[in-house]
Each structure stands twice: as structure tokens, then as C-alpha cells.
Amino acid sequence: MLYRTKLFSAPRLLLRECARFMSESSEAAAVPERKYIPRRSLMYVPGNDERKINKIPQLVASGADCICLDCEDGVAINKKEEARNSIRKILDEQSLDFGKSECTVRINGVGSGFEQIDMETILSGPNLPSSVHLPKVENLDHLEWFAAELNSVIASNAAQKIGLILFIETAEGLLNIKEICRRAQELSDDSFFVPEAIVFGSDDFAADIGATRTKLSTELFYARQAVVTAAKAFRMQAIDCVYIDYKDLEGLEKQSLEGAGFGFTGKQVIHPGQIGIVQQAFSPPEHRIQWATQLIKEFEEHQEAGAGAFVFRGQMIDMPTVKQAKNVLQLIAKDS
Ligand code: COA
Ligand code: MG
């Protein structure tokens, strides 16, 4: 059976035609806006592991929102080349069907020594991943480097901006998180990326600050809440830590619900058995979906009748509540 990848191949000729009429700096601004992409579960697949790559159709069937082909820490140093070449082949051949799941790639971090070759190999082809994960972002230099490199690698190639998923996983990164988010948004105006999510890299962070990991993860509370707060301040998604004890599904559910309660929009996943629980924990409950659907319907009716604020189920509704309802519907749009 031949699978097709749902990636951004696209009307490149049209883009090039448009680009001819624009200055270089406005090239990036010319590509179309991206739709909201839910990332309730962010599933890693080591880019060099053929057996796990062949499991992708099953991960898609399990409903994983985001499938990340990994070049970074899920791949041994002596397998990096294999991973990046195999990812490029997957993108080129489009032989895997990602269905409704997002296909993304995690490159190695800036300063690792692998970042440039990762980007040149993976992002210079005709088919791009939907988003790129940039790990271990610590300061503005990391972002500036990424933005410049991305523009040079894909500038005339991109039919649509790609999503940028930043990782905060060191003490320095956490201290600089506000400036990092702000700069990412500024850079996106003239670059081919849109900063869409921040991932909290829990285990790297614990190692960096010298914390001992515990079952309750109390040692991470501050960092998790700081990441959520910054992400939300910049209207980005916040993706919570990995639950590495992957056979403990009860513990996974507990930590997932806790993360959702903190305000995270999703969670990293390392094993196929974790997907269902995580997807569920970050999905709105049925009563909330019904509330949002009805509210939006009545909002549209009132808008047509020229009324701004109105009463719904005994509550005054105006724009902020309408936005909350839209958030709920956006999250489940992929499921319907
Ligand atoms: N992607 C795709 N398939 C996976 C998978 C993954 N991340 N993790 C496990 N599977 C597959 C296995 O290949 C196995 O199928 P197979 O027997 O046909 O090969 C099946 O699911 C069951 O796996 P299981 O035997 O329970 O686990 P394992 O011992 O093969 O692997 C881990 C356990 C944790 C090593 C593995 O899940 C893994 O490598 N996860 C990703 C780690 C990672 O990417 N880390 C970096 C990000 S934090
Ligand atoms: Mg990490």
C-alpha cells in the first residue's frame, strides 16, 4: 500500500511569481497564514529507527495530534546522520500517511554542532515538515541564528510558513523566556516561521538545575507554571513534560490532568501506549463542547441582530467568553 504524506508541497510557482514583486524582507510576510494546529499529544519517533517509523500509521490511528521525527536526544550521536537522511527521505518520498496528525521534525540545538547540517539536509527539499522543534533555546542568539539559517535554507521554497516549537529546558532558557518569546514573534515577521508552542523539557531542566526527579514532580512546579504563563502571555501553546515511567498509565493520567489544569495545552509522549490518555486529558469534556457550540450559535444570531452583549444560560456573554468558546471548538476541530 502506498502512503502519502500530508506535507507542504505546494504552489511554488505561484509563490515565486508573488515573490518577484516584493522586496526580500517582505518575502516571508507574503506566505499565507497558518491555521491553529492542536498539539495535545506530541509523540516522538526517533528518526533513525525504522521499526518505530513503520509504526507511524498506528500512531496516526491512535489519534496523536503531532508526530515528531526526532534528530535530537532520542537519537544516539553515532546515528545522527542516519536520522537526518532518513527524515529527508520520508519527506521527499511522501511514503507515509500522516492523516490528520501533524508531521514535525526536531533538529539538534544551536551549539550542538549538528544544527546546521540538520537544517540544510531536512529543510532544503521540496517538501517541508509542518513545524520544526528547536530544542534548548537559551538566549536570543539561538533564535537569531535559527531565523537567519531558516531563511537561507528555505526562503524561495516555502509555500507556507512553518511552525516553530521552542524548547525551554535550562535555567538560562527559563530566565530568558519572556525575551525569547518576544523576539520569536518579532523575527517571525520577516522569517518563514510562526512561533506556535513552547515545550517544557523537564528532564533536561532537572539535570541543568541539579534537581532530583520525583514521582510528584514537585521539583518542577515552578518551572512548569513559569512556562505556561509565558506561553499564554504570548498566545502560544504550552506543552508539558514527558512522563518517562511509560508503563505507569495511572501516573501518566494523573500528571496529564494536572498539566491540563495548570493551563498546558498538550504533553510530550514517548510511547504509543501513552497517546490515548494524553489526548483525552487535554480534550475538553463533552459538556464544555456543547456549551461552546450553543454559545457560538447564539453569538452569531445576536451579531446579525446587531446585539453585542447577550445573556446565555444566565450569564452575560461578550467577546472574552466568545473567545473562550472558540478556543474549545478550535481544539476539537481536528476530531470532527
Ligand atoms: N514510536 C513508534 N513506535 C514505538 C515507539 C515510538 N516512540 N516506542 C515504542 N514503539 C513501538 C515498539 O517498536 C514496539 O513495537 P515492535 O515490538 O513491533 O517493535 C511497540 O511500540 C511496543 O514497544 P515496547 O516494547 O513497549 O517499548 P520498547 O522497549 O520498544 O521502547 C522506549 C521503549 C521508551 C525505548 C521507546 O518507546 C522509545 O524509544 N521512545 C521514544 C524515546 C524518545 O524519542 N526520546 C526522546 C524524546 S523525550
Ligand atoms: Mg530535552
The residues facing 209 across adjacent strands are: none
> Does residue 21 carry a pLDDT above 50?
no
> Does residue 159 carry a pLDDT above 70?
yes
**27 Cα: distance to centroid of ligand 2 (angstroms):** 33
Q: What is the pLDDT of residue 328?
A: 87
**Ligand 1 neighbourhood includes 55 CB (under 6 angstroms):** yes
Q: Assign 201 a pLDDT band (cuts: 50, 70, 90).
A: very high
Ligand 1 atom 46: residue of nearest CA:
74
Q: Assign 29 a pLDDT band (cuts: 50, 70, 90).
A: low
Q: Assign 331 a pLDDT band (cuts: 50, 70, 90).
A: confident
Q: What is the mean pLDDT of residues 299-326?
A: 92
SS3 161: coil
- CA 102, CA 276: separation in Å to the nearest integer? 16
> Does residue 230 carry a pLDDT above 70?
yes
Q: What is the pLDDT of residue 179?
A: 98
Q: What is the pLDDT of residue 56?
A: 98
DSSP codes joined into one string, 175-208:
HTHHHHHHHHHHHHTTSSEEEEEEEE-HHHHHHH
Which ligand has the shortest distance to the CA of 108?
Answer: 2
| Stretch among 35-39, 57-61, 256-260 having the lowest mean pLDDT | 35-39
* Mean of the per-residue pLDDT values of the chain: 90
318 catalytically annotated: yes
**For the chain, what are the domain ranges?**
12-31+286-335, 41-281
| Stretch among 21-25, 255-259, 269-273 having the lowest mean pLDDT | 21-25
Instruction: Name the catalytic one among 92, 141, 245, 318.
Output: 318
**Chain segment 210-226, per-residue pLDDT in tens:** 999 998 899 999 999 99
> Does residue 236 carry a pLDDT above 60?
yes
**335 Cα: distance to centroid of ligand 2 (angstroms):** 29
pLDDT over 90 for what percent of the chain?
Answer: 79
Query: Are 279 and 285 spatial neighbours (Cβ–Cβ below 8 Å)?
Result: no
Q: What is the pLDDT of residue 311?
A: 95
**Chain segment 76-119, per-residue pLDDT in tens:** 999 999 999 999 999 999 989 999 999 999 999 999 999 999 99
Q: Assign 155 a pLDDT band (cuts: 50, 70, 90).
A: low
Give the other-Cβ count within 10 Å of 191's Cβ. Answer: 26
| Stretch among 156-160, 211-215, 251-255 having the lowest mean pLDDT | 156-160
C-alpha cell at 315: 450569564
Q: Assign 30 a pLDDT band (cuts: 50, 70, 90).
A: low
> Does residue 5 carry a pLDDT above 60?
no
- What values do phi and psi take at 217, rounded to 5? 55, 30
The residues facing 162 across adjacent strands are: 193
> Does residue 156 carry a pLDDT above 60?
yes
Ligand 1 atom 40: residue of nearest CA:
270
> Does residue 335 carry a pLDDT above 80?
no
What fold, for 41-281? TIM Barrel (3.20.20)
> Does residue 332 carry a pLDDT above 60?
yes
Q: What is the pLDDT of residue 320?
A: 87
- CA 100, CA 66: separation in Å to the nearest integer? 9
Q: What is the pLDDT of residue 261?
A: 93
Pocket test for ligand 1, best of 41, 43, 55, 241 (most atoms within 8 A of CB): 55
